[in-house]
Amino acid sequence: MRILIIRGGALGDFIVTLPMMRLLRERWPDGHIEVLGQPRLAEIAVKRYYLDAVRSVDRGPLSAFFTPRAVLDPAWMDYIGGFDLVLSYFYDPDGLFGTNLKRCDPGRILTCAPRVPDEFGQPAARYFAHILEPLGLELANHAASELFPSPEDDDAAHAFLTGLNSETRLVAIHPGSGGENKNWPIELWAELGYRLLRVVPKVTLLLIEGEADAERAQFLMEAWKDLPLLRARWLPLPILTALLKKAVLYLGHDSGITHLAAASRQDLPIVALFGPTDPVVWAPPRPGVHVLQGRETLNDLAVADVFKIAASLLEITPR
């Protein structure tokens, strides 16, 4: 069985699609499952249980698939036609992409719109798994995503932490997200870090920085320059996953990295600060994920509120 999943979007979108991929892998454990998408994101799943390969969606000839009556690249037609099942999550309001997929003559094509409807009211993973219902595959109770870093990923994470005392408690913080309206004020993150280190013994902060987080991360590097601190800057996602497995607590926003942290280890305590998005849909749907929201906006969320739940998860009496 050869299966192609066509999946765009950001990191969080990819991770909430993993439960669907798990259904495929459980049904066809020896099948070839491949993603046409973003290699930097998909590498968390390639040769790590879910996927056998990834092919970049950012290739020029693929653009013809969005054009009516286009002359399609023969190599692309052969590639897509070589699959028994194609699952597409591409935005295709005019049906042009789907029509051109059919011209490639794969075994079967199933499609799903990439945007979760506003009225859905369930974890996003359930929406993306609906694509498999015509195959008799349904997501039962377990909608949480789970990642499986390789031994090489674990070795790289161990090397990153070389020099830390074995009793060190790693508290991971990601102060960014995909939108400014989803970010807690950076000054409040700075205050929270100080409060945690003042009362929690043997803690080192792990500051996670993605490519869009440079300004916020630099602010915290300066604010926390005298504190026990590690900077995880632009790490490959599989290594970051393995690193998060070693944390005792993660704090972040409604972001792809929060989904990554929740999927890295099923018992890692997560504190997720939510602004305008619906946590019923977008918070990682597993026990141990604690969502905090402000009264009107995320800016209304006080440091004391976040500190209280973080301290309780670290089994420290707040003061």
Window from 52-61, 231-240, 282-291, 310-319 with minimum mean pLDDT:
310-319
What is the mean predicted confidence (pLDDT) over 292-302?
89
What is the mean predicted confidence (pLDDT) over 307-318?
84
Q: Are 50 and 18 in contact (CB under 8 A)?
A: yes
pLDDT of 39 higher than 90: yes
Supply the pLDDT for residue 292: 97
| 3-state SS, residue 43 | coil
| 3-state SS, residue 223 | helix
Window from 24-28, 87-91, 133-137, 161-165 with minimum mean pLDDT:
161-165
Strands (E), 130-182: 169-173
Task: Read off the pTM.
Answer: 0.96
pLDDT of 114 higher than 90: yes
pLDDT of 17 higher than 70: yes
pLDDT of 318 higher than 60: no
| Residue 223 in tokens | 């604010």
What is the mean predicted confidence (pLDDT) over 229-239?
96
pLDDT of 262 higher than 90: yes
Q: Judge residue 163's burial from the number of C-beta atoms within 10 Å of its C-beta, 0-12 exposed, 13-18 middle, 19 or more buried.
A: exposed
What is the mean predicted confidence (pLDDT) over 98-117?
97
High-pLDDT (> 70) share of the chain, %: 99
pLDDT of 140 higher than 70: yes
What is the mean predicted confidence (pLDDT) over 290-296?
90
Supply the pLDDT for residue 260: 98
pLDDT, greater one: 140 or 173: 173
pLDDT of 36 higher than 90: yes
Cα 257 from Cα 176, distance rounded (Å): 9
pLDDT of 24 higher than 80: yes
Split at pLDDT 50, 70, 90, the class of 180 is confident
pLDDT of 89 higher than 90: yes
pLDDT of 11 higher than 70: yes
Residues in the chain: 319
Supply the pLDDT for residue 319: 46
pLDDT of 312 higher than 60: yes
- Bridge-based pairing of strands 229-233 and 32-37 is unpaired
Q: Judge residue 34's burial from the number of C-beta atoms within 10 Å of its C-beta, 0-12 exposed, 13-18 middle, 19 or more buried.
A: buried
Supply the pLDDT for residue 316: 66
